[in-house]
Amino acid sequence: QVTLKESGPVLVKPTETLTLTCTVSGFSLNITKFGVTWIRQPPGKALEWLAHIFSNDEKSYSTSLKSRVTISKDVSRGQVVLTMANMGPVDTGTYYCARMTAGYCSGGRCRMHWFDPWGPGTLVTVSS
């Protein structure tokens, strides 16, 4: 059974750096067709994609957040870590991680990913 679970602080002060960990089980982070992504949802707003990382360590970031966000993985621990610098009240929300599965892979490059399953999410509040 594939599961993911987010962990990290529930409360962060403005200007601090948020570090969230996604612990996965049931699959390996070094399998070509899989990756892990982070998505968040501010209260009452839409889902927002933040970043992803693939088995070959290829990373991608949201255009609006790329200067503040870093994603990394530890295959041996089955963990993917997201850090977000200079947190502000607008960053309050539920943060999810999810497994990415590729529709097809060719020449070592995979495409047409979907997110399944998702972790239960973790609510992060930014407040002094």
Partner 1 sequence: DIQMTQSPSSLSASVGDRVSITCRASQSISIHLNWYQHAPGKAPKILIYAASVLQTGVPSRFSGGGSGTDFTLTISRLQPEDFGTYYCQQSHSSPLTFGQGTRLEI
What residues from 50 to 79 belong to the interface with partner 1 (CB under 8 A)? 52, 60-63
CA distance 120 to 123: 10
In the block, which residue shows the tokens 């943060």?
Answer: 95
Any contact of residue 112 with partner 1 (CB under 8 A)? yes
In the block, which residue shows the tokens 């966000």?
Answer: 69
Any contact of residue 103 with partner 1 (CB under 8 A)? yes
Any contact of residue 83 with partner 1 (CB under 8 A)? no
**Candidates 7-15, 44-52, 72-80, 82-90 — which segment interacts with partner 1 by CB under 8 A?**
44-52
CA distance 124 to 9: 7
* Largest Cα span, the chain: 49
Q: Are the beta carbons of 36 and 55 closer than 8 angstroms?
A: no
Among 17, 26, 109, 114, binds partner 1 (CB under 8 A): 114
The CA-atom distances, in angstroms, between 120 and each of 4, 22, 30, 49, 77 are 8, 11, 23, 16, 20
**Candidates 12-20, 25-33, 41-49, 79-87 — which segment interacts with partner 1 by CB under 8 A?**
41-49
In angstroms, give the least distance from the CB of 122 to partner 1: 11
Any contact of residue 95 with partner 1 (CB under 8 A)? no
Binding site for partner 1 (CB under 8 A): 37, 39, 46-49, 52, 60-63, 96, 98, 103, 111-121
